Amino acid sequence: MSYLADVKSVEKLNRLLDVCRNNLYTFDENLIRRAFEFSWNAHVKGKPRASGEPYFSHPYEVALVVAKEIPLDDVSVASALLHDVVEDTGYDLKSIRAEFGDGIADIVDGVTKISGAVESHEITRAENYRKMLLSMAKDVRVILVKFADRLHNMRTLAFLRPEKQQRIAMETLEIYAPLAHRFGLAKVKWEFEDLAFKYLNTAEYEFISRKLNAKRREREAYIRKFIQPIKKRLEQDDYKFEITGRPKHIYSIYNKMVKRNKPIEEIYDLFAVRVILDTPDKNDCFSVYGIVSEIYTPVPERFKDYISVPKQNGYQSIHTTVVGPEGKMVEVQIRTRQMDEVADRGVAAHWKYKEDVKVTDRKLDEWISWVREILEQPAVSSGEDAAKSFLEGFKLDLYQDEIYVFTPKGNLQVLPKGSTPVDFAFEIHSQVGTHCVGAKVNGRIVPLNTKLNSGDQIEIITSSNQNVNPDWEKFVVSRKAKAHIRRWINDETRKKAVEGEEIWTKKLKKHKLTLGEDDFVKLLRDLKYENAQRFYVAIAEEEIEPERLITRLTQQKAVKDSSEANKPSQTFVEIARKSSEGIVVDGSRSDWKVSYAKCCNPIPGDEIVGFVTTGEGIKIHRKNCPNLARMAGAARERIVDATWPGESSGLFVAGVSVSGMDRPGILTELTHSISSHQNTNIRSVSAEVRDAIFESQIIVYVRDKEHLERIIDKLRKVVGVTKVDRISTGTPGRSQNG
């Protein structure tokens, strides 16, 4: 990208930056500089406009309109600078996206597509075109930049051929002016209408313009005379205000002449005055209305209160017509400064002001009120966040085709295509949706997930005992239904979580068990719950049995306490040391020192032999001990016969390893199956879980081999257990000599 060396370009950039500073709430100066330079260099070699000016003058003037007359944000100004780059230069949308990101690229793409769609077709039904523009705009700023683009084109329309002037003027009057009204952009709408009227009916335009100009001084003098007593009274009452005469717009005057079939001289409300109050209190407007009515006689039937009941596009003001000096009728508008900004700048003003209004989104005429609701959400701020929030709802309600259905009384309801009786119920009223149990479509009962069609008549059946069904969220399509269902589900989840937490707390207290934060987090992780709320809901819905879980925690605590009581280095072999008194060696009780080998830990019932060691007497091994086989190969003469005594009243230590699929309560069931068999005493338990696989080592006291085998059989029957083995050796992987 080349450097801006041209003096005029630098002057233009500085002017634009000054306008942005004065009108935008916040802006990124670097973004505007980059967009300006990119557009300047892209258009510098392009052909001039019909006016003879360099083509860059158009995107530049459009950016000024966006920054000053429809002020929104820096993204809109940058998009205005770039809006014709893709269509009229060698750069493509990919270049815009790489340089400025998705937000600006999407707005430029939207403006380009709208221009092509409207300008390449003959207007047959303007309302369909207005809906089409809305459906194509995935970001409100697309429409606003397009308004600015069209406004500058209309201001320079004189340089085009007459037939093109007519076509563009007709598009402006029938498509863009009504849309500007619905966006609450009063000034833009009036200028669209007057400029279009100038080219569509030049003779009438010039006639009315001459008439207004001929009496302009007389009219201005009269307005000054009319204003004086009002101004004096407001100053006495310490109001901060601005009061001005407001010229009537030419197209508006023409429409009144046609509608009333009267010449311009008989249009009584050509005189108009606006009082703008610098106050946040809307009640001051009514007080000022009272003052005006004391000074001049009001015409009762000409009073309109748009403050208490705003227009569908958000407009608020008091309108009254009074009889002024010389018996002339004067229209007076009274509003706050904020109301005035909203009246002139519509959606753009709502980026700054976020007010409470009654919102309906049933008709296109009411659409702007819904836009205001989107902008008023607490999580939404100005700029990108507001546009993103707007975009989500925009896709849901306007981007889809609509269906037209009826209530039993014949009232029309407009819903998104694909709507169901539940969508219809929530559209009627949130309580109707919440308590919906069934529906009749065209007199026949249908499932609640039935897709509705245009022309259907729907009757909703309700019951006070019915509440929202969470499954409804799977098939509803309207924004209102989804919002109510989600809100109900969230409320119910919170209630159940509170209930579950109370149950859990009581159970812990009953068992005198304290669970630290780290232990609780580990418990949630082991049970595969993403957060505490989901865990408590599971308790409330009886997915978890608190008693069994607490039993498991208690046993784990006992295991932990036991582990701490014993040295961590203590192996199963060390635990298994026991007296060898009574062993018969070589056919008789020997005076030799006799002990059990650590490598195989024999118990009564195992086939055994003795191995004569050096310095440690005779070690008793199981006959199938791998260590014994290795040692006997080198010194078979040291093997001696050995047998168990006839009776033994002692207990022997044995170990089993258990593995399987982890689940809540499995450790409790394992220990219960052991202790319930002949009151077997458990010496210790260790357990861990890896990738949902449960592994445990349990050391028990047994009388003999048969006792141990019965325990192993019982463990194998526990649900989830896949493998049970006797522990035969000490520390795995370490050779143990007898």
Q: What is the DSSP letter of 470?
A: G
Q: What is the DSSP letter of 638?
A: G
Mean per-residue pLDDT of the chain: 79
- In this structure, the answer to whether residues 621 and 672 fall within a common structural domain is no
**Rounded Cα–Cα distance for residues 290 and 400 (Å):** 48
- Residue 327 counted as domain residue: yes
Stretch 691-704: mean pLDDT, rounded?
86
pLDDT in the model for residue 605: 86
Range of the domain at 303: 210-350
CATH number, domain at 668? 3.30.70.260
Please write the tens of the pLDDT for every residue from 496-542. 888 888 888 888 888 777 777 777 887 888 788 888 888 888 888 88
- Residue 92 counted as domain residue: yes
Lowest mean pLDDT among 50-54, 466-470, 589-593, 692-696: 589-593
Please write the tens of the pLDDT for every residue from 642-689. 888 766 657 788 889 999 988 877 888 888 889 888 888 888 888 888
Distances (CA, A) of 625 to 103, 393, 602, 631, 710: 75, 75, 9, 10, 22
Q: What is the DSSP letter of 174?
A: I
CATH number, domain at 123? 1.10.3210.10
- 3-state per-residue secondary structure call for 486-550: HHHHHHHHHHHHHHHHHHHHHHHHHCCCCCCHHHHHHHHHHCCCCCHHHHHHHHHCCCCCHHHHH
Q: What spatial distance separates the first Cα and last Cα of the chain, rounded to whole Å? A: 85
Residues known to be catalytic: 87-88
Please write the tens of the pLDDT for every residue from 434-454. 999 999 998 899 999 999 876
Strands of 693-702's sheet in order across? 682-690, 693-702, 652-661, 721-727
In this predicted structure, the answer to whether residue 32 has a pLDDT above a threshold of 60 is yes
**Rounded Cα–Cα distance for residues 94 and 98 (Å):** 6
- In this structure, the answer to whether residues 634 and 656 fall within a common structural domain is no
Pick from 434, 429, 543, 535: nearest CA to 485 = 434
Pick from 281, 357, 285: nearest CA to 315 = 357
- Residue 187 counted as domain residue: no
Per cent of the chain over pLDDT 90 is 29
Please give the backbone phi and psi of residue 460, each rounded to the nearest 5 degrees, phi first: -100, 130
Q: Total structural domains in the chain?
A: 5
pTM above 0.85, yes or no: no
CATH number, domain at 333? 3.30.460.10
- In this structure, the answer to whether residues 24 and 155 fall within a common structural domain is yes
Domain boundary pick from 288, 316, 350: 350
Displacement of CA 198 from its chain's centroid (Å):
47
Domain boundary pick from 626, 643, 660: 643
- Residue 613 counted as domain residue: yes
CB 291 within 8 A of CB 237: yes
- In this structure, the answer to whether residues 335 and 455 fall within a common structural domain is no
- Residue 183 counted as domain residue: no
Record the tokens describing residue 444, joined without a space.
């026949």
- In this structure, the answer to whether residues 216 and 102 fall within a common structural domain is no
- In this structure, the answer to whether residues 263 and 341 fall within a common structural domain is yes
CB 596 within 8 A of CB 602: yes
With cut-offs at 50, 70 and 90, classify the pLDDT of residue 20.
Answer: very high
- Residue 192 counted as domain residue: no
In this predicted structure, the answer to whether residue 400 has a pLDDT above a threshold of 60 is no
- Residue 504 counted as domain residue: no
pLDDT in the model for residue 116: 62
**Rounded Cα–Cα distance for residues 106 and 75 (Å):** 11
With cut-offs at 50, 70 and 90, classify the pLDDT of residue 14.
Answer: very high
Number of residues in the chain: 738
In this predicted structure, the answer to whether residue 128 has a pLDDT above a threshold of 60 is no
Please write the tens of the pLDDT for every residue from 59-101. 999 999 999 988 878 999 999 999 988 888 888 889 999 999 9
- In this structure, the answer to whether residues 17 and 151 fall within a common structural domain is yes
In this predicted structure, the answer to whether residue 5 has a pLDDT above a threshold of 70 is no
- In this structure, the answer to whether residues 148 and 77 fall within a common structural domain is yes
| Helix, strand, or coil (residue 437) | strand
With cut-offs at 50, 70 and 90, classify the pLDDT of residue 113.
Answer: confident
Higher pLDDT pick, 81 / 575 = 81
In this predicted structure, the answer to whether residue 732 has a pLDDT above a threshold of 50 is no
Please write the tens of the pLDDT for every residue from 339-357. 888 777 665 555 444 433 2
With cut-offs at 50, 70 and 90, classify the pLDDT of residue 326.
Answer: confident
| Helix, strand, or coil (residue 699) | strand
**Rounded Cα–Cα distance for residues 342 and 266 (Å):** 32
**Rounded Cα–Cα distance for residues 109 and 106 (Å):** 5
In this predicted structure, the answer to whether residue 330 has a pLDDT above a threshold of 70 is yes
Neighbours of 519 (CB within 10 A): 13
Stretch 608-631: mean pLDDT, rounded?
84
pLDDT in the model for residue 558: 63
- In this structure, the answer to whether residues 628 and 659 fall within a common structural domain is no
Q: What is the DSSP letter of 606?
A: B
- In this structure, the answer to whether residues 12 and 153 fall within a common structural domain is yes
pLDDT in the model for residue 354: 40
Pick from 172, 197, 199, 177: nearest CA to 187 = 177
pLDDT in the model for residue 566: 44
- In this structure, the answer to whether residues 638 and 665 fall within a common structural domain is no
- Residue 330 counted as domain residue: yes
Domain boundary pick from 590, 608, 643: 643
Q: List, in sequence order, the alpha helices (H) in 101-139.
A: 102-119, 126-136
- In this structure, the answer to whether residues 633 and 676 fall within a common structural domain is no
Question: Which H/E stretch holds residue 559?
Answer: helix 546-565
pLDDT in the model for residue 185: 81
List Cβ neighbours of 244 (8 Å cut-off, separation of 6 or more): 273, 274, 276
Question: What burial class does residue 301 get, using C-beta atoms within 10 Å of its C-beta: 0-12 exposed, 13-18 middle, 19+ buried?
Answer: exposed
